[in-house]
Amino acid sequence: MGYHAIGLVEFNSIAKGIEAADSMLKAAQVELLFSHTVCPGKYVVLITGDVAAVENSVQRGKELGAEAVVDDFILPNVHPDVLTAITATSAVQEIESLGVIETFSLAAAVVAADTAAKAGEVELIEVRLGLGIGGKSFVTLTGEVAAVKAAVEAGALSAASKGLLVNQVVIPSPHYNLIPAIM
């Protein structure tokens, strides 16, 4: 199945998240990309499929999860770099300038990554989803300084609009000893 659209629902209850994941998969013809726990005791479900199926599935997850839903999204035309960045399989070979967008939720980070990738000529390095970092998430990206600044600004604005932006930075020329830690 191709990645036409992706949807994610983030829950503050593991039990409710597992129950909602089952219901989401039964609600529409979608493919499960991942469904698991993340820090601090949250549960995340990420699905893909055609737009209508993803919309139906996410809606079902939100209805069943109700008060346990922390955040959610539907990206009808996801940028192709987003999924490789989520799975840390990006093909980035060189870091020119470095952009970082830090968010309070996993969903906000993925939306920020998609927004940033579409805003400028940049490459996503990674979308780190709340594993071992207290439920926060972050996006790293690279490209020419002006493109990185524009992309980080656009991505950060998407997270800030929901009150979920922690911070954003652009490092024009990162030190060579930092590069292995980023890649």
Residue 134 identity: G
The answer to whether residue 138 scores a pLDDT higher than 50 is yes
CATH number of this structure's domain 5-75: 3.30.70.1710
Joined together, the tokens standing for residue 40 give 């601090």
- Asked if the model's pLDDT at residue 34 lies above 50, the reply is yes
Q: What pTM, to 2 d.p., does this model score? A: 0.88
CATH class entry, domain 80-182: alpha beta
Helices (H), the chain: 14-27, 51-65, 80-86, 106-119, 145-160, 179-182
What is the model's pLDDT at position 18?
A: 96
Listed by start position, the domains of the chain span 5-75, 80-182
Considering Cα of 160, then 162, then 165, then 170, what sign does the dihedral take? negative
Instruction: Give pLDDT, residue 1.
Output: 44
What pLDDT score was predicted for residue 3? 56
Which pLDDT belongs to residue 129?
83
Asked whether the beta carbons of 148 and 98 are under 8 A apart, the reply is yes
Common-topology check for domains 5-75 and 80-182: yes
Structure-block tokens of residue 129:
């989803």
Q: Which of 5-9, 12-16, 126-130, 142-146 has the lowest mean pLDDT?
A: 126-130
* pLDDT tens digits, one per residue of 47-74: 999 999 999 999 999 999 999 999 899 9
Cα 182 from Cα 49, distance rounded (Å): 31
What pLDDT was estimated at residue 181?
87
